[in-house]
Amino acid sequence: MELTLWTYEGPPHVGAMRIAASMEGVHYVLHAPQGDTYADLLFTMIERRDRRPPVTYTTFQARDLGGDTAELVKRTIADAVQRFQPEALLVGESCTAELIQDQPGALAAGMDLGGIPMVSLDLPAYSKKENWGAAETFYQLVRGLLKSQVPPPGTPKPSPQRWLQEGRRPRVNLLGPTLLGFRCREDVREITTLLQEHGTDVSVVAPRLMSMSASTRRWPIRSAPGWSAASACRWCAPYRSASTPPKPF
């Protein structure tokens, strides 16, 4: 137990919300009590977004606890999928739901979601914080969505000289900038300009404002890691064509 008068980071599921809200086509079903909906205001008031984050909360109450909260989770997932028709679904829980152990991810895995990919998030609320939650969510999302595209073992790595052979400038991806990230927008602009001045183009910036359908398939190429993407970069690393460039800061 720790006395906290001010917390700079929120709980890990807020990190997951930052990833979900940064992307297009992702929806997050969060098993959480009603008060946890306060997190919406981080996006609508602090980030001043013109829409709510793509999150549906189960808002279970004490009187639900005696009954079937698992049923509530399933109903909420089914309703959210039908209403928002996401291209990928994140399913997770906040601190309180973690204690009641409904395992929403496992419940979702047993449901017919119409074929959309579902990523179950396991974000320990009593030992981890927001930035960790963001990194883990991004990692799980990348891994969950691209696992099927991992080249078979022994596939030769793409040549680092490919851009020369193809007669174009080299390109990198910037992974990690999110909504509610400190100066992420300015940093992306600055780094993109710096890279361009040095002859390198920026291909994908993710997760911030990245559309699920448009860009996921281009991820596992060269990436400049930073912000909340360390795990995702480590996972991508074996498939990249060159060694990781130095961190931007």
Q: Which residues bind another protein (CB under 8 A)?
A: 1-7, 9-11, 13-14, 33-42, 44-45, 48-52, 56-62, 65, 75-76, 79, 83, 94-96, 99-100, 124-127, 129
The enclosing H or E element of 206 equals strand 201-206
* Residue with Cβ nearer another protein (58 or 223): 58
Q: Does the protein bind ligand SF4 through residue 59 (CB under 6 A)?
A: no
Q: Does the protein bind ligand SF4 through residue 35 (CB under 6 A)?
A: yes
* Closest by CA position to 166, among listed 191, 133, 201, 137: 201
From the list ligand SF4, another protein, none, partner contacted by residue 249 (C-beta under 5 to 8 A by kind): none
Using CB atoms within 10 Å of the CB of residue 111, give its burial: 0 to 12 exposed, 13 to 18 middle, 19+ buried: middle
Q: Which position among 9, 33, 113, 242 is part of the footprint of ligand SF4 (CB under 6 A)?
A: 33
* Residue with Cβ nearer another protein (127 or 243): 127
Return the amino acid letter for 143: R
DSSP string, 164-176: HHTTS--EEEEE-
Residue 118 beta carbon to ligand SF4: minimum distance, rounded to whole angstroms: 24
Nearest residue (beta carbon) to ligand SF4: 35
Query: Is 120 strand, coil or helix?
Result: strand
Cα distance between residue 84 and residue 55, in whole Å: 10
From the list another protein, ligand SF4, none, partner contacted by residue 192 (C-beta under 5 to 8 A by kind): none
Residue 121 beta carbon to ligand SF4: minimum distance, rounded to whole angstroms: 17
DSSP string, 28-79: EEEE--GGGGGGHHIIIIIS--SS--SEEE----HHHHTS-HHHHHHHHHHH
* Residue with Cβ nearer another protein (14 or 142): 14
DSSP string, 125-137: TTT--HHHHHHHH
Binding residues for ligand SF4, how many (CB under 6 A)? 5
From the list another protein, ligand SF4, none, partner contacted by residue 76 (C-beta under 5 to 8 A by kind): another protein
Residues that bind ligand SF4 (CB under 6 A): 33, 35-36, 95-96
